[in-house]
Amino acid sequence: MFIDTHTHLYVEAFDADRIDVIRCAQENGLNKLLLPNIDVESIKSMYDLVESFPSICYPMMGLHPGSVNENWEADLERIKTELFSKKFIAVGEIGMDLYWDDTFLEEQEYVFKTQVKWAKELGLPIAIHARKAFENIFKILDDLNDDKLTGVFHCFTGTMHDAKKIISYGGFKLGIGGVITYKNAHIAEVVKQLPLDLIVLETDSPYLPPVPHRGKRNESAYLVHVADKIAELKGLTRNEVGAVTTQNALALFKFNDYEK
């Protein structure tokens, strides 16, 4: 059994064959797909997918750092309304992204900090997007971390130093996806040194497809290639990796609370 802890299955890239993609994922041993929100516009399509597949698809709610723009205040207020009026498996996708542009640096920091506080208030884990922003995020978490804060650093591609810092917070897992299968990807050496109980699996589909599907649309069924690479690095079987990472995800995301 596997859990894809991060997939954007509700986006337009899957409009033509979404049901087939879910069926293929199930055939490859996946029985839970976690859906992080992106912005105000993506909310309805995410809800529609969860309504169609309530026992497979689980929603998150959050404002993606790449969606923090001149409308951020109104967008954040809408996210708050949704978050506090419905049930979600996590607060996400939130974080900071300074890769392309730092125009809204201060606004990204405020939006991230605010959503972290909401997650603590609601007792939900967070799904963190961190791109060229580890130090900014660490500074915020240093102030806000306590035993109420848990979550995952989604699509983790940081250094061993970054991993140790994240582990030191006590309540976080590292989300590992297709990048680990890329040639010369340094994250493979980091994962090789990490205990498996700190890892959850993800695809970030339709983005970042693993080898042998690079250049194509990613999908949840391809999670098995991520599991296979981790198994290779650690001298384990695919099923052993699946068993441990699934238990990690079940413990982190508290599915029983969500399904009450």
The rounded percent of the chain whose pLDDT value lies above 90 is 98
DSSP 138: H
For the segment 164-187, the average pLDDT, to the nearest whole number, is 97
Give the 3-state secondary structure of residue 123. Answer: coil
Per-residue pLDDT at 18: 98
Per-residue pLDDT at 47: 98
Per-residue pLDDT at 153: 98
CA dihedral 197, 172, 28, 181 (to 10 degrees): -90
Phi, psi of 254 (to 5 degrees): 50, 60
Beta-carbon contacts of 120 under 8 Å, excluding residues fewer than 6 positions away, are: 144, 146, 148, 149
pTM above 0.75, yes or no: yes
Structural domains of the chain, count: 1
Give the integer Cα–Cα distance in Å for 50 and 184: 37
DSSP 96: E
Give the integer Cα–Cα distance in Å for 111 and 109: 6
**Which domain CATH number covers 247?**
3.20.20.140
For the segment 72-87, the average pLDDT, to the nearest whole number, is 98
pLDDT of 96 > 90? The answer is: yes
Using CB atoms within 10 Å of the CB of residue 191, give its burial: 0 to 12 exposed, 13 to 18 middle, 19+ buried. Answer: buried
Helix (H) or strand (E) segment spanning residue 95: strand 90-97
In terms of DSSP H, where are the helices of 123-159? 134-144
Per-residue pLDDT at 115: 98
End-to-end CA distance of the chain: 22
Per-residue tokens: 177? 């996806």
Per-residue pLDDT at 189: 97
**Tens-digit pLDDT profile for residues 16-65:** 999 999 999 999 999 999 999 999 999 999 999 999 999 999 999 999 99
**Tens-digit pLDDT profile for residues 176-234:** 999 999 999 999 999 999 999 999 999 999 999 999 999 999 999 999 999 999 999 99
Domain with 250, as residue range(s), is: 2-259
From the list 254, 215, 247, the residue with the least C-alpha distance to 123 is 254
CA dihedral 162, 166, 172, 173 (to 10 degrees): 20
From the list 27, 36, 28, the residue with the least C-alpha distance to 5 is 36
Give the integer Cα–Cα distance in Å for 153 and 130: 7
> Quick check: 153 and 183 in contact, CB under 8 A?
no
> Quick check: 92 and 63 in contact, CB under 8 A?
no
Per-chain mean pLDDT for the chain: 97
pLDDT of 260 > 90? The answer is: no
